[in-house]
């Protein structure tokens, strides 16, 4: 529960709204308490009907008892003596209290839900911010579905707990306390006897709450797995259908769904037991009170009307406190998602030295010195002591077998990954000591896996670039050879793309991604198999555009296309995380056996890239 209460403290940021909600809750409850106490004079008039039982006489007798707050004399003079008129006056007052209480109750509920919703939204925003600032390897290792489930599903459960706490729980507690206070005013002895049931009730709710927390945590983990299976299957639906894998993914979903059901059913016993057990304790309490009251009435130490009123007040208090068992269960259930959310809210984000040097625009060289990298959970390094030096303005192609470390090496430059050993320098400066934004703002990256967002073509090209004009966007599209097909779309650059750009071909998506990188005007351009999904004619046109665009820039290319490799100034050959060759095409054909094999077997002149 500690995580829940820590997150619940954020409701205090809505201090004015929360205070107003509490004030209205106490006004509503106060009306109930006053109403219960005011029933006493009316009941005495009806039951006795004798001299001294009218409202004025009862008010005078009350003042004569020396109370802390006496009734003003002028007000007593206005109280009717006629018993019937006195009853009508009390009932009219009760009706007025009912209207005030209902209005206050509405305002309390309205404001409490406002506070809960805003607080949950703020935590959801903080959770998303924390997720996108986590190191890339953390998200990749644990899977995006886990973080999506926590950001969306867990905050919904947390919001439910906040609403229960700030709305229903406070309303029930304040009403219960008001009725309990009225019972104390009417007869404190009877009320004290009723308190005997409080300790066992608290112990019972605590034990049930622990079981609910454990069960809810397991259910949320199962739901996270279910979300992962569904997301993977639907995002990869093309491959699922092509591989006739419908039965496989259905089986996986069925197993995950069963785990969700099992987790949720573990909570059912505790939830189902809480209500009946509380009711049983209440019955025993009423039975004990009846025995105690009967003895006191028969002995003349307790007036019958006081017993009826005190019992009624306690019944109202019990009726108000009874839903607390279920409400406590709901708050306990919100503790599990609160703990899951807090667990990654406190995780360390990407290292970004706030006082680090601002890295100037690249103008000299890029150096990889003794670089090693090992993925979490791997038994071997993906990079093993890489030494590579690239001059500004060079176009360098990296080739090698799949899994040799090309993409890993390029991921170190924009600090998507950080080396486990060694140093990456730009113009002689260790990029780990530079401000992260100053490193990434001058690097454009185009990968084989194109990412497009729901939005217009123009907004997708301009993603991450502030202040880009329509002319800038069109110019970047022209350089990427995307302008022609964009203008043929229904609304041109204002056409809204489907999720992940599903309405476009692979080559069209790739060209938009290249346009996005060009628009950034990067000093360093990284192309990770960027032309792998583009036909030969488009490839020639894009290569010509890159040849023009590369002037004054350093271009690093991971490619399977022979034309791209031959257009480079240098070719770097990698194998098993090491650099095993470095030179021109002709030099490597003479000096590097691996390159000769790659050139003959893997590099292709056009069509789909091999490997």
Query: Percent of the chain scored above 70 by pLDDT?
Result: 68
Q: Give the DSSP H or E segment for 184.
A: helix 170-186
Q: Which residue has the higher pLDDT, 312 or 160?
A: 160
Dihedral-angle region of residue 603 (phi above 0 means left; psi in -120 to 50 means alpha; beta otherwise):
beta
Q: 300: number of CA atoms within 13 Å, CB side?
A: 0
Q: Which residue has the higher pLDDT, 154 or 198?
A: 154
Please state, as a whole number, how many other Cβ atoms lie within 10 Å of the Cβ of residue 5. 12
Hey, what are 559's tokens?
Answer: 């490619």
Q: Which residue has the higher pLDDT, 245 or 110?
A: 110
CA-CA distances (angstroms) from residue 294 to 61, 185, 196, 265?
27, 20, 18, 45
Q: 38-74: per-residue pLDDT in tens?
A: 665 555 555 555 555 566 666 666 566 565 556 677 7
**Phi and psi at residue 442, to the nearest 5°:** -110, 15
pLDDT for res 527 = 87
Residues contacting residue 403 through CB under 8 Å, at least 6 positions apart: none
Q: 353-362: per-residue pLDDT in tens?
A: 666 688 899 9
pLDDT for res 523 = 92
Residue 304 confidence class, pLDDT cut points 50, 70, 90: low
**Spatial distance between the Cα atoms of 489 and 508, rounded to a whole number of angstroms:** 12
Asked if 333 and 212 count as a contact pair (C-beta separation under 8 A), the reply is yes
| Burial grade of 94 (CB within 10 A; 0-12, 13-18, 19 or more) | middle
Mean pLDDT of 105-129: 88
Q: Which residue has the higher pLDDT, 399 or 266?
A: 399
Asked if 114 and 17 count as a contact pair (C-beta separation under 8 A), the reply is yes
Strand-pairing partners, residue 167, are none
**Sheet of strand 524-528, all strands in order from the earlier edge strand to the far edge:** 443-446, 524-528, 554-558, 395-399, 570-575, 578-583
**Is the pLDDT confidence value at 309 over 80?**
no
Please state, as a whole number, how many other Cβ atoms lie within 10 Å of the Cβ of residue 479. 21
CA-CA distances (angstroms) from residue 524 to 237, 363, 407?
35, 10, 15
Q: Is the pTM higher than 0.75?
A: no
**Is the pLDDT confidence value at 114 over 80?**
yes
Asked if 560 and 602 count as a contact pair (C-beta separation under 8 A), the reply is yes
Q: 96-108: per-residue pLDDT in tens?
A: 777 888 888 888 8
Residue 583 confidence class, pLDDT cut points 50, 70, 90: very high
**Spatial distance between the Cα atoms of 313 and 320, rounded to a whole number of angstroms:** 11
**Is the pLDDT confidence value at 117 over 80?**
yes
**Is the pLDDT confidence value at 35 over 90?**
no
pLDDT for res 611 = 33
Asked if 437 and 359 count as a contact pair (C-beta separation under 8 A), the reply is no
pLDDT for res 290 = 65
Hey, what are 201's tokens?
Answer: 């009730």
**Is the pLDDT confidence value at 606 over 60?**
no
Residue 441 confidence class, pLDDT cut points 50, 70, 90: confident
CA-CA distances (angstroms) from residue 322 to 203, 276, 318, 319, 599?
15, 10, 6, 5, 78
**Is the pLDDT confidence value at 587 over 50?**
yes
Domains along the sequence of the chain with CATH: 2-217+273-345 (1.20.1560.10), 452-521 (3.40.50.300)
**Is the pLDDT confidence value at 558 over 50?**
yes
Mean pLDDT of 508-532: 84
Asked if 399 and 574 count as a contact pair (C-beta separation under 8 A), the reply is yes
pLDDT for res 386 = 93
Mean pLDDT of 159-165: 84
Q: Which residue has the higher pLDDT, 350 or 117?
A: 117
Residue 598 confidence class, pLDDT cut points 50, 70, 90: confident
Strand-pairing partners, residue 372, are 384, 421
Q: What is the average pLDDT score of the chain?
A: 78
Highest mean pLDDT among 198-207, 299-308, 312-321, 538-547: 538-547
pLDDT for res 97 = 76
pLDDT for res 283 = 61
pLDDT for res 161 = 85
The single-letter DSSP state of residue 499 is G
Q: 473-499: per-residue pLDDT in tens?
A: 999 998 888 888 999 988 999 998 877
- Nearest by Cα to 444 from 509, 371, 369, 528: 528
Q: 314-364: per-residue pLDDT in tens?
A: 666 666 555 665 666 777 778 878 888 888 787 777 776 666 688 899 999
pLDDT for res 86 = 65
Please state, as a whole number, how many other Cβ atoms lie within 10 Å of the Cβ of residue 272. 10
């Amino acid at each position: 529960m500690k995580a829940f209460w820590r997150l619940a403290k954020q409701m205090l940021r809505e201090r004015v709204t929360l205070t107003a909600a509490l004030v209205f809750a106490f006004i509503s409850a106060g009306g109930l308490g006053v109403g219960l106490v005011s029933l006493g004079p009316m009941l005495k008039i009806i039951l006795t009907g004798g001299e001294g039982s009218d409202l004025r006489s009862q008010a005078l007798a009350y003042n004569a008892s020396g109370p802390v707050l006496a009734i003003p004399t002028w007000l007593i003079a206005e109280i009717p003596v006629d018993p019937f008129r006195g009853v009508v006056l009390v009932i009219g007052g009760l009706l007025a209290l009912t209207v005030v209480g209902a209005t206050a109750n509405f305002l309390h509920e309205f404001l409490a839900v406002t506070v809960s919703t805003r607080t949950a939204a703020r935590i959801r925003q903080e959770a998303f911010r924390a997720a996108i600032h986590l190191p890339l390897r953390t998200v990749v290792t644990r899977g995006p579905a886990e973080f999506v489930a926590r950001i969306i599903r867990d905050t919904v459960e947390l919001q439910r707990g906040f609403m229960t706490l700030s709305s229903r729980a406070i309303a029930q507690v304040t009403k219960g306390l008001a009725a309990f206070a009225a019972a104390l005013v009417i007869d404190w002895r009877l009320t004290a006897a009723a308190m005997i049931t409080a300790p066992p009730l608290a112990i019972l709710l605590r034990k049930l709450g622990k079981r609910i927390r454990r069960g809810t945590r397991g259910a949320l983990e199962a739901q996270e797995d279910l979300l992962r299976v569904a997301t993977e299957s639907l995002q990869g639906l093309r491959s699922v259908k092509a591989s006739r894998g419908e039965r496989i993914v259905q089986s996986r979903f069925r197993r995950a769904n069963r785990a969700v059901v099992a987790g949720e059913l573990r909570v059912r016993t505790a939830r189902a037991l809480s209500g009946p057990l509380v009711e049983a304790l209440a019955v025993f309490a009423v039975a004990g009170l009846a025995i105690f009251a009967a003895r006191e009435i028969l002995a003349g130490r307790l007036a019958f009307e006081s017993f009826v009123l005190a019992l009624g007040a306690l019944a109202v208090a019990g009726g108000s406190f009874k839903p607390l068992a279920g409400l406590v269960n709901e708050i306990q259930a919100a503790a599990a998602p609160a703990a899951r959310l807090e667990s990654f809210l406190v995780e360390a984000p990407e290292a970004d030295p706030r006082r680090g040097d601002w890295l100037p625009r690249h103008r000299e060289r890029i150096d990889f010195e003794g670089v090693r990298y090992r993925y979490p959970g791997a038994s071997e390094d993906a990079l093993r002591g890489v030494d590579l030096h690239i001059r500004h303005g060079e176009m360098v192609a990296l080739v090698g077998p799949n899994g040799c470390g090309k993409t890993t090496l390029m991921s170190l430059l924009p600090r998507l990954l950080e080396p486990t050993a060694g140093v990456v320098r730009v113009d002689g400066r260790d990029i780990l000591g530079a401000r992260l934004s100053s490193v990434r703002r001058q690097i454009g990256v185009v990968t084989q896996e194109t990412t497009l967002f729901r939005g217009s073509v123009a907004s997708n090209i301009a993603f991450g670039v502030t202040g880009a004009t329509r002319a800038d966007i069109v110019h970047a599209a022209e350089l990427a050879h995307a302008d022609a097909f964009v203008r043929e779309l229904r609304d041109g650059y204002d056409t809204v793309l489907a999720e992940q750009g599903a309405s476009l071909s692979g080559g069209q998506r790739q060209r938009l991604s290249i346009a996005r990188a060009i628009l950034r005007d990067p000093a360093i351009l990284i192309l990770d198999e960027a032309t792998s999904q583009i036909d030969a004619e488009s490839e020639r046109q894009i290569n010509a555009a890159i040849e023009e665009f590369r002037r004054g820039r350093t271009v690093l290319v991971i490619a399977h296309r022979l034309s791209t490799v031959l257009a480079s100034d240098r070719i770097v050959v990698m194998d098993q995380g090491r650099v095993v060759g470095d030179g021109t095409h002709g030099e490597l054909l003479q000096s590097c056996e691996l390159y000769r094999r790659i050139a003959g077997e893997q590099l292709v002149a056009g069509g789909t890239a091999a490997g």
